[in-house]
Amino acid sequence: MKNFNPESNFFNLKKSSKQKKFLKNVIKLNNHHFRNCKEYKRMIVNNYPNFNNIDKLKDMPMIPVKLFKLINLKSIKEKDIYKIIYSSGTSSDGLSKIYLDKNNAKIQIQVLNNLFSEMITSNRYPMLIIDKNIKNNFGNFNAQKAAITGFSIFGKKKFFLLKDDNKINYDELRNFKNYVGKDKYFIFGFTDKVYEYLIKKLDSKYLNKNAIIIHGGGWKKLEKFKISNEKFKELIFKKFKISRIHNYYGMIEQTGSIFFECKNGFFHTSVFSEIFIRDQYFNDLKFNKKGLIQLISLVPVSYPGHNILTEDIGEIFGEDTCKCGLKGKYFKVYGRLQKSEIRGCGNIND
């Protein structure tokens, strides 16, 4: 199973040019997973009896993201499993498990690399990672380690801020400062750790203002501090005078298919991704209405994660008309449904 070749620019296709090509590839993925994953096939047969007659992208079969915590979903043979990625956390619902073969792992890196190059920069700079040094665990990763491994490829040289006991490694930090000087560099970390260690603990003398900060996830841990995305950026600028700060949105079930903020604060779909917003009855909502996020990606080939209904709340503001100039749908994410809301998806249109 092969995806269509990457465009020279992931954000240059208007709706009219993208739709036909994207739909064709989603249908290929549907059929591929239908043939190779018996659990996916069973779900499709039971819930989409007219599966073969569906011809609109918004009507294509989607599966709830929670299924990855309940059953093993893979479209490859056991002998072809190259890597297993587990979701982070200690949820009582269990952990999601994503099965990759070498081909799909390669696709993930290629797509992430192109997205990063177009949305952030194609240059490689030294990188300060707001975490401890990860150890090789023989092909099995949790979501955090997978993210660190994925983003660290953009670092010309990598430095880890934390020691194994999660305390700041000042020797490493001084080495980093001496290496960078006044040049440009990356800072990568999960949002809650950037807040805890950079905003709350780190002296501003260690960082110059020429950083590009890439952060994502961890927003739920900041709710008690009432830290919005805008407030987060204000705090960093006030302390370090760093202005290039890019939030990203993504999930383990579609690893590699990351959404970066544009300069106007919106996430954008690319030639490899699409988004819909659903109400509590799973109807497709028009722009400027909040609801459950449905994500479609052409990246998942070794497992049926190509069309998933998330438990996140979002809103689409338009398509091909963002003032930043990028094509595709542009949207915002407002957080996750409360556990008490998941069953009925109540109050998501408020």
Residue where a domain stops, chosen among 249, 281, 309 = 249
**350 in a structural domain:** no
Question: Based on the domain organization, do 245 and 276 belong to the same domain?
Answer: no
What integer pLDDT is reported at residue 142 of this predicted model? 81
**106 in a structural domain:** no
Return mean pLDDT, the chain: 89
pLDDT average, residue stretch 118-129:
95
What is the C-alpha separation between 225 and 220, in angstroms, rounded?
Answer: 10
Residues 267-315 pLDDT 10s: 999 999 999 999 999 999 999 999 999 999 999 999 999 999 999 999 9
What integer pLDDT is reported at residue 346 of this predicted model? 35
CATH number where 320 lies? 2.30.38.10
**313 in a structural domain:** yes
Question: Based on the domain organization, do 323 and 289 belong to the same domain?
Answer: yes
**In the predicted structure, residue 91 carries a pLDDT above the cut 60:** no
Residues 39-85 pLDDT 10s: 999 999 999 988 888 989 999 999 999 999 999 999 999 999 999 99
What integer pLDDT is reported at residue 4 of this predicted model? 43
Smallest CA-to-CA distance from 66 within 97, 39, 42 is with 97
Residue 296 bridge partners (DSSP): 274, 307
What integer pLDDT is reported at residue 140 of this predicted model? 67
Q: Are 191 and 215 in contact (CB under 8 A)?
A: yes
Nearest 5°: CA angle at 326, between 296 and 229?
75
Give the residue with greater pLDDT, 224 vs 254: 254
Q: What percent of the chain has pLDDT over 70?
A: 91
**147 in a structural domain:** yes
Q: How many domains does the chain have?
A: 2
**254 in a structural domain:** no
Question: Based on the domain organization, do 70 and 127 belong to the same domain?
Answer: no
Nearest 5°: CA angle at 214, between 118 and 217?
115
